[in-house]
């Protein structure tokens, strides 16, 4: 099964980010455009308040509450003088409030409540510095708190946008639970945000070489970890073995979980693994994966330094997995996409 990075898996609608549709099983999203793996940005989601309209109204009107607008997968970000980048937030009394599209995101350690407003467009730039950005740009720049808030809001927006009608009876649904439920007024069904688990794995052989593959349409030299969606009724460990077998023809034995990374394009959760091959024999599918190779650490370092290989970049989970095996940060690529 594939991991579409820019097309909604449930509807086939074009997603909001502009990356080309890959239809591929290599970690095209996670390796190129990282989002921090740190999902603990100090936000308590406080989900027990989501159905309490009186509490939500009081939280909304509190002067310390902060609000940001999301629209089409983007929010406004701002580079500060100290070199950091922040989400552009405002007090609720300055916010372009629309009751039907208010998402409650949680409370930070100082007691500040955060909301996102989903709008058809972002508000006008607040100054010369603020600019609209999607998660692919903003994710690596923002602090953990802002990154966590933005990922949550974009994930909700993606789901809300494509689940306006009841999957049971076809009636138009309405938003509830501060953005975390859609209810059907006709049949009473409640619909919850979906998260699609996907596995991403660094496979090694008995010589401790790493298996990296490249998609047919990738730039020349781009190699990364294999990845794919978990299927219904399948354990994540089984999904690791199936995907590696399908894409690279490699049989996998032991599988161990490493870390996860939210990837709301539109609704994936990347589950990172280390896996051990039982045989080094490679037979790529030739359809999604054009080439797969075993790299020793020396092989990979040399190939990166000569520009023959473009490795996974930045703080992505693919890069984390490769670096976990490599034992240190990867060499700087000689060239970039
Ligand atoms: Zn219904």
Q: pLDDT, tens digit, for every residue of 220-248? A: 999 999 999 999 999 999 999 999 999 99
- Which pLDDT score is estimated for 12? 35
8 Å CB contact between 63 and 91: yes
Structural domains in the chain, CATH included, are 37-191 (3.90.79.20), 196-326 (3.90.79.10)
Tokens representing 28?
Answer: 């095209």
- Which pLDDT score is estimated for 137? 87
8 Å CB contact between 31 and 3: no
State how far the Cα of 304 lies from the Cα of 202, in Å rounded to an integer. 18
Q: What is the per-residue pLDDT across 53-96, written as a single tens digit (0 to 9) for each?
A: 999 999 999 999 999 999 999 999 999 999 999 999 999 988 87
- Tell me, in angstroms, the distance from the centre of ligand 1 to residue 254's CA: 44
Mean pLDDT of the chain: 86
- Tell me, in angstroms, the distance from the centre of ligand 1 to residue 47's CA: 24
Q: Looking at residues 180-195, what average pLDDT do you find?
A: 97
Candidates 131, 135, 133, 149; CA nearest to 30 is 135
Q: What is the per-residue pLDDT across 105-139, written as a single tens digit (0 to 9) for each?
A: 999 999 999 999 999 888 876 566 789 999 888 98
pTM for the predicted model, two decimal places: 0.84
State how far the Cα of 259 lies from the Cα of 153, in Å rounded to an integer. 22
Tokens representing 302?
Answer: 């040399």
- Tell me, in angstroms, the distance from the centre of ligand 1 to residue 224's CA: 42
- Which pLDDT score is estimated for 11? 37
- Tell me, in angstroms, the distance from the centre of ligand 1 to residue 191's CA: 9
Share of the chain above pLDDT 90, in %: 68
Question: Is the pLDDT score of 98 beyond 80?
Answer: no
Question: Is the pLDDT score of 100 beyond 80?
Answer: no
Q: Looking at residues 298-304, what average pLDDT do you find?
A: 96
Report residue 38's pLDDT band, with 50, 70 and 90 as the boundaries: low
- Which pLDDT score is estimated for 103? 96
- Which pLDDT score is estimated for 18? 31
- Tell me, in angstroms, the distance from the centre of ligand 1 to residue 173's CA: 7
Q: Is 113 helix (H, G, I), strand (E, B) or coil?
A: strand
Question: Who has greater pLDDT, 3 or 293?
Answer: 293
- Which pLDDT score is estimated for 286? 87
- Tell me, in angstroms, the distance from the centre of ligand 1 to residue 183's CA: 8
- Which pLDDT score is estimated for 332? 84
- Tell me, in angstroms, the distance from the centre of ligand 1 to residue 189's CA: 5
Question: Is the pLDDT score of 20 beyond 90?
Answer: no
Share of the chain above pLDDT 70, in %: 85
- Tell me, in angstroms, the distance from the centre of ligand 1 to residue 182's CA: 10
Question: Is the pLDDT score of 29 beyond 70?
Answer: no
- Which pLDDT score is estimated for 336? 56
- Which pLDDT score is estimated for 288? 86
State how far the Cα of 107 lies from the Cα of 168, in Å rounded to an integer. 34
- Which pLDDT score is estimated for 95? 83
Q: Is 136 helix (H, G, I), strand (E, B) or coil?
A: helix
- Which pLDDT score is estimated for 129? 78
- Tell me, in angstroms, the distance from the centre of ligand 1 to residue 175's CA: 13
- Tell me, in angstroms, the distance from the centre of ligand 1 to residue 6's CA: 28
- Tell me, in angstroms, the distance from the centre of ligand 1 to residue 71's CA: 27
- Tell me, in angstroms, the distance from the centre of ligand 1 to residue 172's CA: 8
- Tell me, in angstroms, the distance from the centre of ligand 1 to residue 177's CA: 17
- Tell me, in angstroms, the distance from the centre of ligand 1 to residue 181's CA: 13
* Cα-based torsion angle of the residue sequence 61, 63, 64, 66 in order, rounded to the nearest 10 degrees: 60
């Amino acid at each position: 099964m594939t991991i579409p990075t820019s097309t909604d898996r449930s509807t086939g609608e074009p997603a909001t980010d502009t990356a080309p549709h890959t239809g591929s099983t290599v970690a095209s999203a996670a390796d190129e455009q990282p989002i921090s793996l740190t999902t603990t940005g100090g936000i308590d989601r406080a989900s027990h308040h989501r159905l309490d309209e009186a509490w939500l109204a009081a939280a909304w009107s509190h002067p310390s509450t902060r609000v940001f607008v999301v629209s089409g997968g983007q929010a406004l970000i701002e580079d500060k003088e100290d070199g950091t980048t922040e989400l552009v937030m405002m007090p609720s009394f300055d916010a372009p409030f629309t009751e039907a599209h208010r998402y409650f995101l949680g409370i930070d350690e100082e007691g500040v409540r955060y909301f996102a407003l989903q709008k058809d467009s972002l508000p006008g730039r607040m100054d010369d510095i603020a600019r609209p950005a999607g998660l692919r740009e903003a994710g690596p720049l923002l602090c953990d708190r802002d990154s966590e808030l933005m990922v949550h809001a974009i994930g909700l927006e993606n789901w809300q946008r494509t689940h306006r009608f009841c999957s049971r009876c076809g009636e138009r649904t309405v938003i509830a639970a501060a953005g975390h439920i859609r209810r059907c007024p006709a049949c009473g069904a409640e619909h919850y945000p979906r998260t699609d688990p996907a596995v991403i794995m660094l496979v090694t052989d008995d010589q401790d070489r790493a298996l990296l593959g490249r998609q047919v349409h990738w730039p020349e030299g781009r190699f990364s970890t294999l990845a794919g969606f978990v299927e219904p009724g399948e354990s994540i460990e089984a999904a690791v073995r199936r995907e590696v077998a399908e894409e690279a023809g490699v049989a996998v034995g032991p599988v161990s979980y490493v870390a996860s990374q939210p990837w709301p394009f539109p609704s994936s959760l990347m589950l990172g693994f280390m896996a051990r091959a039982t045989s080094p024999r490679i037979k790529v599918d030739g359809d999604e994966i054009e080439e797969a190779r075993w790299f020793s650490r020396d092989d990979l370092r040399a190939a990166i330094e000569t520009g023959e290989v473009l490795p996974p970049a930045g703080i992505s989970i693919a890069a984390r997995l490769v670096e976990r095996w490599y034992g240190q940060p990867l060499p700087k690529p000689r060239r970039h996409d």
